Structure 1
Amino acid sequence: MIYGIGTDICDVRRIRESLHRHGERFARKVLCDAELAVYRSRAARWPERGLRYLATRFSAKEAFSKAIGLGMRMPMTWRACEIANLRSGQPVIVLHGELKTWFEARGLSAHVTVTDETDYAASFVVVERQPIHQTT
């Protein structure tokens, strides 16, 4: 059963401006440690690729916060929600701390997709509630 749906489109130019204005502090606010390592690696080789990585993660976290109905308020935080990739490249949501506890207590699971093109990054998240099986 669908619990919530969230979508977000992010202007990559706005993320670029935030990076110029706040430096890596902005990336550290949005990305968890594992994501930050990927961001730094990509940005070191090709700054535009690092920027797009940050924009897709920003967008996906916004979409997830909408899908769970919390927005950016506790227990939802930027760093408690990680957008990782399986070996196949498929993006997945990995939760940490209080957000993970909150999410699992409700029997929820999430699906995410991200994309970027020129000036925009977009994400779509579907959150499902696992059916409760009752025995008679």
Structure 2
Amino acid sequence: MIIGLGSDLCNIERIAKSIERFGARFENRVFTDVERAKAAKRPFTKAGTYAKRFAAKEAFSKAVGTGFRHGVFMKDIGVVNGPSGAPTLSLTGGAKARLDAMIPSGYEAHVHVTLTDDHPWAQAFVIIEALRSQKA
């Protein structure tokens, strides 16, 4: 069953201006080590790489219904790639706690993420699904 849905549209140029103005302070405050390493490998599309991840963080915060309140922080939401290359989220701290609190007993969370960009826009959708636990 679907228990959360969120989307966000982010302006890549806004992210580029934040990087230009605040540099590492902005990057370290908002993005995980994994996200920063990925962006560093893409110098010509760094802002777009960050903008998609920024949008995913916003979309997740909407999907869990809190925004960035109640202990849910941007840096607790990390975009990572699964073995197939598809994006998914790695959650820690308040973001993980909020997601865990939403999942009914006997179910497990499955987070679906899709990212896209077409300059100057980056977009993300997050669907949170609760699936019956396969654990006996």
Q: Shorter-chain TM-score: which interval? A: 0.7 to 0.9
Q: How far does residue 99 in structure 1 lie from its aligned partner after superposition? A: 2.5
Give the TM-score of the pair, scaled to structure 2. Answer: 0.84
CA positional deviation for 1:54? 0.4
Aligned to 2:111: 110
- 1:42 aligns to what SS in structure 2? coil
SS of equivalent residue, structure 1 residue 25: helix
Tell me how far apart the structure 1 counterparts of residues 55 and 42 of structure 2 sit (CA, whole Å).
18
What SS does structure 2 have at the residue aligned with 1:130?
strand
- Partner secondary structure for residue 54 of structure 2: helix
* In 2, Cα distance between equivalents of 1:81 and 1:38: 15
Partner of residue 38, structure 2: 38
Q: Distance in 2 between matches of 1:87 and 1:36?
A: 19
Distance (Å, rounded) in 1 between the aligned partners of 2:69 and 2:34: 22
Instruction: Please provide the CA RMSD for this pair.
Output: 1.7
Which residue does 2:61 correspond to in 1? 65
Question: 1: CA distance between counterparts of 2:9 and 2:45?
Answer: 18
Distance 1:15 1:37 in 2: 17
Number of equivalent positions: 128
1:122 aligned residue: 123
What secondary structure does 2:57 align onto? Answer: helix
Counterpart in the other structure of 1:25 = 25
Q: 1:40 to 1:74 in 2, by over 3 A?
A: farther
Q: Distance in 1 between matches of 2:120 and 2:95?
A: 31
Distance 1:100 1:19 in 2: 27
Identity %: 38
C-alpha distance in 2 between matches for 1:92 and 1:103: 14
AA partner of residue 57 (structure 1)? R
Q: Which residue is 1:2 aligned to?
A: 2
Provide structure 2 residue ranges, at least 5 long, that are not aligned to the other structure: 104-108
- The unaligned stretches of length 5 or more in structure 1 are none
State the 1:131 CA deviation: 5.0
Q: Separation in 2 of the partners of 1:84 and 1:103?
A: 17
**In 2, Cα distance between the equivalents of 1:11 and 1:42?**
18
